[in-house]
Each structure stands twice: as structure tokens, then as C-alpha cells.
Amino acid sequence: MRPPASHGFRAAFRTANAAAFLFSTSQAFFLLLPVYLHQNGSSPAQIGLVAGLLRASSLLARPLGGRLLDYFGRRSVTGVGGCLAITAILSLFLFPHLGMPFLAMRVVQGIGTSLVDSGLGTLVADLSPPTARAQVFAIYTVWLNLAGALMPGLGEAIARRAGFLSLFGAAALAVAGGLVTLGRLPETWRPRQEEGRPVPGLLKGAAPLLLGGVVVGLAYSILTVFVPVARIAAAPGRAGLFFFAYFVGLIGVRLAGGLGLIWLAQPTALLPAYGMLAAGLAALALGDSSIVLVGVGVVCGASHGVLMPVLYALLLFGIPRDRRGWAVALLAAAFDFGNVLGAMGLGLAAEALGYRGIFALGAAAVVVGALASHLWGRR
């Protein structure tokens, strides 16, 4: 099944994809923030702290952001998030070194990023019909993640030639471009017309899916925070190569699911995808080969590409319009919570176990969490 092809939908969807690409370009450049901190002498625990603060602030802002989206509209809240993100990025020109101002602005950046992510995701959920929502999300997230495939390598080149401050300036320009594109999108929010399902009921039904989001977020934090500074990616250009492979796998699977291979967007694909994710993490502990690095990137990216659209589609099934912002923010918060667990918790564990040890520990955590989510969901 292909997404609907009406002219109005196509035009709005193209604009949403363009905005997603620009906002994601900024986030992709910040995938190199651990490398910046590492080069400035930060320890694994400090790198984990910074990455964890970005995600923790995003996590805490998600529930409020979801309610704001449902009461004040999609575009206005997303625009506020973009302005916060630009302010936080530009603060790096004033506070380039680790300290309280640096950490405080990472909190602001996390809040801004969460509002942008939730706002665009909710707008796309409003645009898409329920029967094609998994496919629509698969194609939308291709554009979200295309920047992740292309821009870390470009970011490495910018940082090597012009320094990291130039990279941060490029990230701010990308957000500004996203805000301009956002202004061309229709406002899909409407005044409340339906009786919203009570929040406790939503939480009860969504809990197994949210646990799945935590598992994916945990794995993603390991792959994006600790792989770039581990020995396996130490050679010049390898961090960009890993992210390219990761997002090639992710984008390839989502294109396949969105354009025809419907079984990739079905609930039955969840368990195999979790298994691939765990296997990829475990393989990182086996050696320092670039072949292993690229293979893990493709496998883990493909599993991520299957998991999140299916989880979103299952969560949004039957959710009325005036609860969609909250529901989208809820799953994003679960993903962020997994990121916080991985970045902060495993950053501390890396001090004792080393990076290979936390790769193996992360693989075990994915297996346990996936099985718990599956069995809980069946009940």
C-alpha cells in the first residue's frame, strides 16, 4: 500500500520532509559533539553526562510539549522549539568549554529539539490517514535520517578544515532554514472537537510500546555516543563512515517498507528487528575492523528503521486528534529515556568495563527489554 496521493497531501508532505531534513541536519552535525568533547580532554563519564543532559532535558520537555501541541497548535510550538535550539547552538561561541553555562545551554538545546521533533511528527500524523500511517512515517523518517547518513561525514570535513565552531555555525544555519520551511506548512491543529481518551488509559495501553521505545533509545545512545570515540572508530573518517552505514541501513529499510514491502511495517517484524539490534551491538565487542564497523552500522540501522515506524503506528491507532501531540511526544520521551540510560549509565560503566564491555552489556539489555516488551504486549 502506498501513501495517499492527493495534491494537497503531496505538497504538504514534501514541505514537511524538507523541514525535517533541515532540522535533522543540525542534529546530525551534533552527532560529532562527543568527538569535540573527546578532543578537548573530556572523560567517558563527562561525554556521557553531556549526551545524557541533552536527552534528559528533551525527555522532561516531551509531556509538556505534547500538551502544548494539542492546545496551541503544531506550527507555533515547533517554531518556538527551533528558536530555542538556535539560541543554544550559538551559545557555543560564548561558552565553548565544559562548565555550567555549557551544560545549561545543552538543557535548552534538548528542550528545543524535543519541541521540533514532536511538532513535526504530530503534524505528519495529522496529515496521514490511519490505514497508511506506518508507510507515511517510514517515508517521512527517511528524510529525517537522510541527514544522519550524509552530514556527519560533511561535519567531520568542516571540523577538520575550519574547526568545530564553524560546524556549530552550520548547524545553526540549518535550523534557521528549517524555520523558514516550517512557515510554508499548513496548521493541522483544530479546536477540540472530540472527547479525549483519559491519560491513564492511554498510558496503560501504550506501556509495552513505550518499553520498546526505551530499548531502541538505549541502543541508539550506545551507537551514537560511544562508538565514535571507541577504538573501532578511532581512525580518521571512520566515525563518518559508521554513521553513513547506519543511516543507509535505516533509510533503505524504511524506503522498502514505505514503498511496497508492507511486512516490514507489520508488528510481526518487531522481534526479528530487536534480534538484529542486539546482534549488532554484540559484534562491536569482537574487533576493530572497519568491515565490522560498517556491517554493524548497516544491521543496527536497518533494525532501527523497522522498529520505530511500527511502534508509532501501533501507538497512534485509534488516538483522537486532540491526543496525538501527547501520544507522539510520549513515544519520543520513551526513546529519550533510553538515550539517557545509555549515555549516563553506560558512560559511568565504561570507566570500569571499557567500551567493548558496554557494547556487550548493551546487547544483553536489548534482548531482555525486547522480550519483556513482547510478552507484556501479548498480555
Chain segment 157-179, per-residue pLDDT in tens: 898 888 899 999 999 999 999 99
Q: Does residue 189 form part of some domain?
A: no
The pLDDT > 90 percentage for the chain reads 15
pLDDT level of residue 134 (50, 70, 90 thresholds): low
> Cβ–Cβ contacts within 10 Å for residue 100, how many?
8
Q: Does residue 342 form part of some domain?
A: yes
Report the pLDDT value the prediction gives residue 342, as an integer from 0 to 100.
Answer: 79
Q: Tell me the per-residue pLDDT of 195-216, one tens digit each, with 9 for 90 and over.
A: 444 445 555 667 788 888 899 9
The pTM (predicted TM-score) of the whole model is 0.67
Total domain count, the chain:
1
Domain with 166 in it: what CATH number? 1.20.1250.20
Distances (CA, A) of 13 to 126, 181, 269: 11, 12, 26
pLDDT level of residue 284 (50, 70, 90 thresholds): confident
Q: Does residue 366 form part of some domain?
A: yes
Q: Tell me the per-residue pLDDT of 208-249, one tens digit each, with 9 for 90 and over.
A: 888 888 999 888 888 887 888 777 777 777 777 888 888 888
Q: Does residue 190 form part of some domain?
A: no
More confident residue, 320 or 365: 365
Q: Does residue 191 form part of some domain?
A: no
182 touches 79 (CB < 8 A): yes
Alpha carbon distance, N-terminus to C-terminus of the chain: 29
Q: Does residue 124 form part of some domain?
A: yes
Q: Tell me the per-residue pLDDT of 2-46, one tens digit each, with 9 for 90 and over.
A: 444 455 677 888 888 899 899 989 988 888 888 888 888 888 778
Report the pLDDT value the prediction gives residue 306, as an integer from 0 to 100.
Answer: 85
Residues spanned by the domain of 43: 7-184+196-378
Q: Does residue 18 form part of some domain?
A: yes
Report the pLDDT value the prediction gives residue 85, as an integer from 0 to 100.
Answer: 93
Report the pLDDT value the prediction gives residue 224, as an integer from 0 to 100.
Answer: 82
Question: Residue 139 and residue 133: Cα distance in Å, rounded?
Answer: 10
The pLDDT > 70 percentage for the chain reads 85
Given a cut of 70, whether residue 296 has pLDDT beyond it is yes
Q: Does residue 2 form part of some domain?
A: no
